A and B are shown apart, each in its own frame.
Chain A
C-alpha cells in the first residue's frame, strides 16, 4: 500500500504554467525527497498529490486507483504542513483526534490511537495543552502525530523542519528517519535542505522550474549528476566548474593540466571541492592564489582565484597553515572529474 504514480502532471495558475509535465513513480514504503530551489514547484507538486489542488492535466494514481478527481480526504494521505497548521483553539488531544472523529471512529479506538501515537512521539504529557503552549519542536511532533493517528497510505511532508533551529533539526531528522523505518509507510518529503535530502531519502527528486531534472538515490546523484544543474545543486560547497574546449579528445585545464575527454567542442568540467588536494611538487595540478581561508577545525575551506578561470573552492582535511595571498597547487584524480556538454548534459 502506498504506491503513487504521477503521469504527465501539468499545473497552471491562471495562465502561468508552473509544473511542466512531471512523470514519477513512487514505490511502496519508499521515502522520496523533493528538492530544488525556492519556487521550483515542490509544494505545488505535493499539494497536487495531496488533493488540495487539481492538476490542469495528467493523472495521479494511488495503489492503482486513479484519484486525479478525488478530494483530499478520499485519498487516504496525511500531510504535515510547513507551518504545522495545528488548530490553535484545540488541545493537542483534540488536534490529534479531530480527523478520526470526522471519520466517525468509535471513541475508545480514537483514544487508543491517540495515546499510542503520543507515546511513540513522546508527547503524552502535552495532550492537555494548546499549540500556543508548545515549543517549536513539540508543535512539530504534534503535527506529525496528527498525521500518524490517521494511519495513512502515505505521508506528505512539506518542509517540516524548516522552522526549527539547527540542532533540533538534526534530532528531528533522525527521529523522522527512525519513524519511517518503523512504520515503513510511503513518505514524500519536501525540503530545500540538501543534508536532509541526502540523509533521509531512499530516492531524491531534483526539481527545477517545474521540471524533474533527475531522480536517483542520494549517492548516485552525488557521484553521477546527470546535468550541470544537479551537479551544481547537490553537494556543499558547490562544485567547481571550468569551461574548456576539447580538441581531438584532449582538454587543457587552467594551469596547463591536460586531460582526456570523449567529446569534441565546448565542454564544462566539474570538480567537487572535496576531491581536490594539495599537489606534490611534480604532480599535474591547477595553480591558484588563496584569497579566503575558512578554518572549521576538522577541515579547512580555501577560496582561491585561478588565473583566467574564475574561482575555485577546496575543502581540505585538518588545519592548514596557509596565508591569504599564498599560491597553491591543487591536484585531482581523473575519476572524480565530471564532464558536461554544451547543452549541460553529462558526458560518459
Chain B
C-alpha cells in the first residue's frame, strides 16, 4: 500500500518541492481522466435519472428518485414534497395534481384537507436511487429483443467473415511470393482512403441489384473485406517465421492446413485486435444499415434506437438507458478478447 502511494505521489521535484513537470503531469492526467471517463460516467448516471431530473439545470451528479407515499383515497402513490409554509416551518406533503404555477397538495397524515401550494414554495423529497424503469420499459414496450437479435447476428456474422476473409488475404500477401503481390497490397491499403460516403451510391445499387436490400446479409456482406484488417493481419503474419511454414510443409501439411493449423493460431493476438475493431464497427454501424434496412423487424439496435428517438418527443431517459445497454456487449467483447492480445508467442518455438 505504501509502495503504491509512493509511486503515485512520486515527484520530480526534490524535498517536497513541486517541479513544473509534476504540475503539468497532474493536470494532464486528471484532465485526461475526466475527458476519457466523464462522458461515460455521465451517460451511465444519467441513464438512471427520471425525465424531470434530466431536464433540470444545473444537472445533478447522482441519480435521485422522488419519494412517494400511499395516501388514503388515492389509487396511485403520490410524490412527496417538502413544503415551506407561511410561518417559515416546513412539512412533507403529497401532490395530487398541478394547476398552473401552484399545486394541490395533501398531508398524508390528514388526507381530507387539500391545500394549494405555489411551486416555488416546495422542494421534492428525493433520495439517491435508480430509475430502473428506464431500462425495463423499453424491453417491454419497444421491440428491443428483436433489434438486439438483429444486431448480434450482424455483428457476429460480419466479424467471423471479416476474420476469415481478411486472414486468408493476409496469409497470401505475407507468405507467398507472386507477381503483383506488392501492387495488390498497395491497392488494398489505398482503399483505406476512400470513405463510405463516396461509395455509398454505387454500393447501394450493387446491393440492390443482387437483391440484398432489406436483408441482414445486405448489411453484412459489403463490410467484411476491410483494408485495415488485411493490413493489420499481414503485418503481424510477416513476423511469423517462414521456417515454421516450411517445417509444416515437410510435415505433409497442405497449404490449407498450414493456414488453419499454423497461421491462424499464431496470429491470434492480431485476430483478437481485429475482432474487437470489427465488433465495435459493426455494432455501432448506423448509416449503412439505415440505408439497406427499411423494414422495422430487420432494424439493428442503432437504427431502432434512432426511430425511437423520433417518435412523438425525444424520450431521453430511455435513449440514455438503451445506449448504455448497447455499450455493454462491446465492453464485454473487449474484456474477453484483450487476454489474447499478448504479443510474441509466434517467435517462441524459434530460438
- Cα separation A163 to B351 with both chains bound (whole Å): 7
Interface status of B210 (Cβ within 8 A of chain A): no
Question: A117-138 toward B: CB 8 Å interface, digit per residue (1/0)?
Answer: 0000000000000111000100
Binds B, one of A80-88, A184-192, A204-212, A252-260: A80-88
- Cα separation A52 to B248 with both chains bound (whole Å): 11
A52 touches B246 (CB 8 A): yes
- Cα separation A91 to B298 with both chains bound (whole Å): 46
Chain A residue nearest to B245 (CB atoms) is A85
Cross-interface CB contact of B252 among A50, A52, A88, A103, cutoff 8 Å = A103
A52 touches B351 (CB 8 A): no
Interface status of B129 (Cβ within 8 A of chain A): no
Within 8 A of A (CB), among B30-63: none
In the complex, what's the smallest C-beta–C-beta distance from B30 to chain A, in angstroms?
41
A99 touches B252 (CB 8 A): yes
Cross-interface CB contact of B345 among A84, A99, A132, cutoff 8 Å = A132
Interface status of B224 (Cβ within 8 A of chain A): no
- Cα separation A264 to B242 with both chains bound (whole Å): 54
Known: A52-B246, A79-B247, A98-B248. A85 touches B349 (CB 8 A): yes
**Residues of the B chain whose Cβ atoms lie less than 8 Å from the Cβ of A139:** 349, 351
Chain A interface: which size bin? 20 to 34
B252 touches A73 (CB 8 A): yes
Interface status of B243 (Cβ within 8 A of chain A): yes
Interface status of A269 (Cβ within 8 A of chain B): no
Question: A50-67 toward B: CB 8 Å interface, digit per residue (1/0)?
Answer: 101000000000000000
**Residues of the A chain whose Cβ atoms lie less than 8 Å from the Cβ of B246:** 52, 72, 79, 81, 85
B253 touches A88 (CB 8 A): no
In the complex, what's the smallest C-beta–C-beta distance from A106 to chain B, in angstroms?
15
Cross-interface CB contact of B348 among A50, A132, A163, cutoff 8 Å = A132
In the complex, what's the smallest C-beta–C-beta distance from B247 to chain A, in angstroms?
4
**Residues of the A chain whose Cβ atoms lie less than 8 Å from the Cβ of B350:** 83-86, 88
Chain A residue nearest to B249 (CB atoms) is A72
A89 touches B345 (CB 8 A): yes
Chain A residue nearest to B246 (CB atoms) is A52
A102 touches B257 (CB 8 A): yes
Interface status of B293 (Cβ within 8 A of chain A): no
- Cα separation A50 to B243 with both chains bound (whole Å): 13
**Residues of the B chain whose Cβ atoms lie less than 8 Å from the Cβ of A79:** 246-247, 250
- Cα separation A222 to B55 with both chains bound (whole Å): 97
Interface status of A230 (Cβ within 8 A of chain B): no
A83 touches B250 (CB 8 A): no
**Residues of the A chain whose Cβ atoms lie less than 8 Å from the Cβ of B13:** none
- Cα separation A154 to B143 with both chains bound (whole Å): 68
Chain B residue nearest to A147 (CB atoms) is B250
B251 touches A102 (CB 8 A): yes
- Cα separation A132 to B248 with both chains bound (whole Å): 18
- Cα separation A52 to B253 with both chains bound (whole Å): 13
**Residues of the B chain whose Cβ atoms lie less than 8 Å from the Cβ of A85:** 241, 243-244, 246-247, 349-350
A72 touches B348 (CB 8 A): no
Question: B109-129 toward A: CB 8 Å interface, digit per residue (1/0)?
Answer: 000000000000000000000
Known: A72-B250, A89-B266, A102-B252. A84 touches B351 (CB 8 A): yes
Residue with the highest number of chain B CB atoms closer than 10 Å, among A50, A72, A78: A72
B249 touches A88 (CB 8 A): no
In the complex, what's the smallest C-beta–C-beta distance from B249 to chain A, in angstroms?
5
Interface status of B346 (Cβ within 8 A of chain A): yes
Interface status of A77 (Cβ within 8 A of chain B): yes
**Residues of the B chain whose Cβ atoms lie less than 8 Å from the Cβ of A98:** 248, 251, 253, 261
Size of the chain B interface, CB-CB below 8 angstroms: 25
**Residues of the B chain whose Cβ atoms lie less than 8 Å from the Cβ of A81:** 243, 246-247
**Residues of the B chain whose Cβ atoms lie less than 8 Å from the Cβ of A102:** 251-254, 257
In the complex, what's the smallest C-beta–C-beta distance from A105 to chain B, in angstroms?
10
- Cα separation A98 to B254 with both chains bound (whole Å): 12
- Cα separation A102 to B256 with both chains bound (whole Å): 11
**Residues of the B chain whose Cβ atoms lie less than 8 Å from the Cβ of A87:** 244, 247-248, 262, 349
Interface status of B265 (Cβ within 8 A of chain A): yes
Chain A residue nearest to B346 (CB atoms) is A88
Within 8 A of B (CB), among A131-169: 131-132, 136, 139, 146, 150, 163
- Cα separation A50 to B247 with both chains bound (whole Å): 11
Question: B323-351 toward A: CB 8 Å interface, digit per residue (1/0)?
Answer: 00000000000000000000001111111
- Cα separation A131 to B243 with both chains bound (whole Å): 15
**Residues of the B chain whose Cβ atoms lie less than 8 Å from the Cβ of A163:** 351
A99 touches B251 (CB 8 A): yes
A77 touches B257 (CB 8 A): no
**Residues of the B chain whose Cβ atoms lie less than 8 Å from the Cβ of A103:** 252
**Residues of the A chain whose Cβ atoms lie less than 8 Å from the Cβ of B244:** 85, 87
Chain B residue nearest to A134 (CB atoms) is B349
Question: A89-114 toward B: CB 8 Å interface, digit per residue (1/0)?
Answer: 10000000011001100000000000
In the complex, what's the smallest C-beta–C-beta distance from B339 to chain A, in angstroms?
15
Chain B residue nearest to A79 (CB atoms) is B250
In the complex, what's the smallest C-beta–C-beta distance from A164 to chain B, in angstroms?
9
Known: A83-B241, A85-B241, A89-B265. A78 touches B349 (CB 8 A): no
**Residues of the A chain whose Cβ atoms lie less than 8 Å from the Cβ of B349:** 84-88, 131-132, 139
**Residues of the A chain whose Cβ atoms lie less than 8 Å from the Cβ of B247:** 79, 81, 85-87, 146
In the complex, what's the smallest C-beta–C-beta distance from B76 to chain A, in angstroms?
63
Question: A176-194 toward B: CB 8 Å interface, digit per residue (1/0)?
Answer: 0000000000000000000
In the complex, what's the smallest C-beta–C-beta distance from B297 to chain A, in angstroms?
43
- Cα separation A77 to B257 with both chains bound (whole Å): 19
If A81-B247, A146-B251 are given as contacts, then 6 extra A-B residue pairs at C-beta distance below 8 Å, sorted by A number, are A52-B249, A81-B243, A85-B241, A85-B247, A85-B349, A99-B250
- Report the 10 A-B pairs with minimum CB-CB distance, sorted nearest first: A99-B251, A88-B349, A86-B349, A102-B252, A88-B348, A85-B243, A85-B247, A83-B350, A132-B348, A73-B252
- Residue contacts A-B, CB under 8 angstroms, 15 given: A71-B249, A73-B249, A73-B251, A78-B250, A83-B351, A88-B345, A88-B348, A89-B266, A98-B251, A102-B251, A103-B252, A130-B348, A131-B348, A139-B349, A139-B351
